[in-house]
């Protein structure tokens, strides 16, 4: 009986397991259903998706809105380049772009009667959604061959800043003058079938990022003028290449000219300084003399030419004649260690060779070079601010290396020397001097940068020009940086500078022409600030706030080189930056300086102070220390003061309280070209008790000066 019952229970248990019933007999375990989906797309007007192929027909996968860029749907899950529209139809999912409602004008044959095609001249009346422009291949049985002049010009009312996508069929060959003027929402467009891009066709299309063109008959003047986001352009060929086609394109980084481009007009890249690379095709044949007049971008790092070109060759980014015996053009921003090709016989002292090349850190000159521009050697390497070394210069019969205009510290290597004094740019873009603890240059692309904590575990200095013209917006200088060299951040885009305790010197022009610099913090460790450290051309300054970690007396002890070392005025002598002290408060109108021996020249030049007290221990007051302090009314001069020549020029002080005697006053007040600085002030002399007569003063119970 027991065996029979046990067998029945075992069978039942097995059946339950098969049916998904749990061992307790109460809860069913139903395995989850895994949907299967079709690999084909299903779509509607707005989006596409994969439909389920299992019994759950309502399930979908991968639903996404149609997003188009350069004739491509970027949201379908397929590679960008695979999802191309042919005749306004997606070759992957089959979704068809609906033609826009447009206005047209006829194109007539020579007889003036026969219609051969149509030109699009704008949106049809009443169209409100202008975000996508889909031009059909034909209209009323004839091809659509052109987009007319100002057809979608925003200023003319037909254009729209919301236009983000344009589909051009292969039939469209002409884009009229200013056809898409001001269409700032447009990001990319396929122009490979277009033959004529006329003047200003994409003028001020500030959102356009990419433009690829085939072989053109015409590329018009200002075709891409003020395309602020344009980063890449390609032109396979062009018969008529007008000037300034890519003018004022600040983001343009690379331009590829194909085999059909023969010349580059003089101002093609005018006001487009960021182009890093230009390629030239096999038919490029512009004369070397004409190339000298081309305004190549300041940011150009290398130029490449097709190996099949009959006139020119390139090596290491430098353009040579075909035989590589002459240098034709050296990009202004060629970067790193540069080697001139063997066979070159001459280096010319013009800008197209090596003058003002500020990103070159090392130059190797081949033995084949016999001459460096006789009579002009003083200009050959002028402005090569990051050049650290030159190899094989002793092969050239020049008597004195100083004639080349080399900066101080450039190492001249003898023939065969292999010991470099600079490193290659590291992964972060830093270049170091190996013969000293110095950060020599920076070629990175960071916008907000914290400098390295140290160099090989040691403190280091930042060399002159190291970050000049960089695109940094914020920089933090850590404690292990000891000094900032001259012009080290000059002409950069830096907006804010944070200097940690440890830095001792800010070099001359360290932030010269930093037109966006409004805020800087300075630690107590800084003892010297060089000439024009924070000014721009003409002595102006953008600084608004300076945070100083010390107190008034510590600020006063800093050695300032000239009036533009300081931060209180610009060339107009008007108030500029506000100085915040270590307590977090702005410089007060009443200040007391004591406990230091000397007040630095220009320390408070133009500062907004009203009352000044020079206290115990101060002996010397530097030149122009308080000049142009227009609000200064009252000055207390301590008895220890021995010298203040020119310290109080160009101001009118009403009252002076001098702790010394009238006899010593005449000797002390020698300033300002032999005149008496305080000639218009009422001067009082200290007396411990009330005198019978004379101009005397003493301190009251609060420590303030009062007249007896």
Indicate whether 527 and 610 sit together in one domain. Answer: no
CA distance 63 to 59: 11
**Residue 11: inside a domain:** no
CB 35 within 8 A of CB 54: yes
**Residue 349: inside a domain:** yes
pLDDT at 344 over 50: yes
Indicate whether 694 and 625 sit together in one domain. Answer: yes
pLDDT tens-digit map of 319-339: 999 999 999 999 999 999 999
What spatial distance separates the first Cα and last Cα of the chain, rounded to whole Å? 130
Tell me the helix, strand and coil percentages in the chain, rounded to 5.
5, 30, 60
- 398: confidence class by pLDDT, cuts 50, 70, 90: very low
CA distance 20 to 28: 6
pLDDT tens-digit map of 358-396: 889 999 988 888 777 654 455 678 788 899 988 876 545
Q: Residue 662 — φ and ψ, nearest 5°?
A: -65, -30
CB 180 within 8 A of CB 159: yes
Q: For the domain that residue 310 is a member of, what is the CATH number?
A: 3.80.10.10
Indicate whether 497 and 407 sit together in one domain. Answer: no
**Residue 270: inside a domain:** yes
CA distance 533 to 376: 32
**Residue 302: inside a domain:** yes
**Residue 137: inside a domain:** no
Give the total number of structural domains in the chain: 5
Ramachandran quadrant class, 248 (left: phi over 0; alpha: psi -120 to 50; beta: rest) = left
CA distance 8 to 651: 115
Of 378, 402, 419, the one marking the end of a domain is 419
**Residue 244: inside a domain:** yes
CA distance 522 to 454: 19
Percent of the chain at pLDDT above 90? 57
More confident residue, 89 or 187: 187
- 662: confidence class by pLDDT, cuts 50, 70, 90: confident
Q: How many CA atoms lie within 13 A of 395 on its CB side?
A: 17
Indicate whether 690 and 615 sit together in one domain. Answer: yes
Helix or strand (DSSP H, E) at 289: helix 288-291
Indicate whether 600 and 568 sit together in one domain. Answer: no
Indicate whether 518 and 609 sit together in one domain. Answer: no
Q: Tell me which long-range contacts 618-626 makes (C-beta under 8 A, separation of at least 24).
A: 618/593, 618/594, 619/643, 620/644, 621/647, 622/598, 622/647, 623/647, 624/563, 624/649, 625/556, 625/599, 625/600, 625/601, 626/651
CB 522 within 8 A of CB 533: no
Identify the domain containing residue 525 by its residue range: 423-587
Q: How many CA atoms lie within 13 A of 649 on its CB side?
A: 19
Mean pLDDT (the chain, rounded): 85
Indicate whether 550 and 570 sit together in one domain. Answer: yes
List Cα–Cα distances, 452 to 424, 474, 479, in angstroms: 16, 14, 10
- Compute how many other C-beta atoms are within 10 angstroms of the C-beta atom of residue 164: 20
List Cα–Cα distances, 693 to 663, 666, 679, 687, 708, in angstroms: 15, 19, 21, 11, 10
Of 52, 72, 97, the one marking the end of a domain is 97
Indicate whether 439 and 545 sit together in one domain. Answer: yes
Indicate whether 272 and 413 sit together in one domain. Answer: no
Q: What is the mean pLDDT of residues 91-109?
A: 83
CB 586 within 8 A of CB 577: no
Residue 571: per-residue pLDDT: 55
- 416: confidence class by pLDDT, cuts 50, 70, 90: low
Indicate whether 435 and 396 sit together in one domain. Answer: no
Strand boundaries in 66-195, DSSP class E: 68-69, 72-73, 85-86, 89-90, 102-108, 115-123, 132-134, 138-139, 142-147, 165-167, 174-175, 188-191
Indicate whether 230 and 298 sit together in one domain. Answer: yes
Of 367, 400, 419, the one marking the end of a domain is 419
As beta bridge partners, residue 671 has none
**Residue 1: inside a domain:** no
**Residue 561: inside a domain:** yes
Residue 439 exposed, middle or buried by CB count within 10 Å (0-12, 13-18, 19+): buried
- Which residues, at least 6 apart from 551, have a Cβ–Cβ distance to it below 8 Å? 581, 582, 583
Indicate whether 568 and 432 sit together in one domain. Answer: yes
């Amino acid at each position: 009986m027991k065996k029979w019952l046990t067998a029945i229970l075992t069978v039942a248990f097995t059946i339950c397991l098969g049916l998904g019933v749990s061992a307790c007999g109460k809860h069913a375990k139903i395995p989850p259903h895994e949907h299967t989906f079709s690999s084909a797309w299903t779509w509607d007007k707005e989006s596409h998706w994969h439909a389920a192929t299992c019994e759950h027909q309502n399930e979908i996968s991968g639903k996404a809105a149609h997003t188009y860029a350069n004739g491509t749907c970027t949201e379908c899950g397929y590679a960008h380049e695979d999802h191309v529209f042919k005749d306004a139809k997606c070759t992957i999912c089959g979704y068809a772009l609906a033609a826009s409602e447009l206005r047209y004008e006829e194109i007539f044959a020579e007889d003036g009667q026969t219609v051969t095609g149509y030109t699009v001249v704008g949106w049809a009346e009443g169209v409100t959604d202008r975000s996508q422009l889909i031009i059909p291949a034909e209209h009323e049985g004839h091809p659509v061959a052109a987009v007319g002049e100002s057809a979608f010009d925003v200023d003319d009312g037909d254009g729209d800043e919301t236009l983000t996508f344009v589909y051009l069929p292969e039939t469209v060959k002409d884009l009229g003058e200013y056809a898409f003027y001001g269409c700032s929402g447009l990001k990319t467009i396929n122009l490979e079938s277009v033959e004529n891009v006329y003047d200003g066709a994409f003028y001020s299309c500030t959102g356009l990022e990419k433009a690829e063109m085939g072989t053109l008959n015409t590329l018009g003047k200002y075709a891409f003028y003020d395309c602020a986001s344009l980063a890449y352009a390609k032109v396979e060929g062009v018969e008529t290449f007008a000037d300034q086609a890519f003018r004022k394109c600040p983001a343009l980084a690379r331009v590829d000219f194909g085999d059909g481009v023969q010349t580059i007009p003089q101002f093609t890249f005018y006001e487009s300084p960021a182009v890093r690379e230009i390629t030239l095709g096999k038919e490029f044949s512009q004369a070397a003399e004409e190339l000298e007049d081309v305004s190549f971008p300041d940011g150009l790092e290398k130029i490449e030419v097709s190996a099949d070109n009959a006139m020119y060759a390139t090596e290491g980014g430098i353009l040579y004649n075909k035989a590589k015996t002459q240098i034709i053009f050296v990009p202004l921003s060629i970067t790193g260690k540069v080697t001139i090709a063997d066979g070159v016989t001459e280096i010319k002292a013009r800008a197209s060779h090596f003058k003002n090349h500020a990103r070159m850190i090392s130059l190797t000159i081949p033995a084949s070079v016999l001459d460096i521009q006789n009579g002009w050697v003083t200009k050959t390497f002028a402005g090569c601010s990051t050049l650290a070394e030159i190899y094989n210069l002793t092969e050239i019969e020049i008597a004195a290396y100083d004639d080349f205009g080399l900066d101080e510290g450039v190492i001249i290597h003898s023939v065969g020397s292999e010991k470099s004094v600079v490193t290659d740019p590291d992964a972060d873009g830093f270049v170091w001097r190996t013969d000293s603890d110095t950060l020599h240059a920076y070629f990175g692309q960071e916008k907000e940068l914290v400098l390295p904590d140290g160099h090989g575990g040691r403190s280091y200095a930042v060399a002159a020009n190291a970050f000049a013209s960089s695109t940094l917006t914020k920089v933090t200088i850590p404690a292990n940086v000891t000094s900032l060299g001259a012009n080290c951040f000059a002409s950069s885009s830096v907006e804010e500078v944070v200097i940690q305790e440890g830095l001792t010197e800010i070099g001359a022009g360290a932030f010269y022409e930093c037109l966006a610099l409004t805020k800087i913090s300075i630690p107590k460790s800084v003892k010297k600030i060089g000439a024009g450290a924070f000014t721009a051309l003409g002595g102006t300054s953008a600084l608004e706030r300076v945070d100083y970690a010390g107190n008034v007396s510590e600020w006063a002890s800093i050695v300032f080189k000239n009036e533009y070392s300081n931060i209180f005025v610009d060339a107009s002598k008007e108030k500029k930056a506000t100085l915040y002290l270590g307590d977090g408060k702005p410089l007060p109108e009443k200040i007391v300086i004591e406990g230091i021996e000397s007040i630095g020249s220009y320390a408070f030049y133009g500062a907004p102070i009203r009352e000044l007290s020079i206290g115990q221990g101060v002996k010397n007051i530097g030149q122009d220390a308080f000049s142009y302090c227009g609000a200064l009314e009252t000055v207390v001069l301590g008895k220890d003061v021995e010298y203040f020549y020119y310290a109080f020029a160009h101001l009118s002080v009403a009252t002076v309280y001098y702790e010394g005697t009238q006899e010593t006053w005449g000797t002390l007040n020698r300033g300002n070209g032999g005149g008496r600085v305080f000639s218009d002030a009422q001067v009082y002399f200290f007396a411990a008790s009330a005198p019978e007569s004379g101009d005397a003063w003493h301190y009251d119970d609060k420590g303030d000066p009062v007249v007896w």
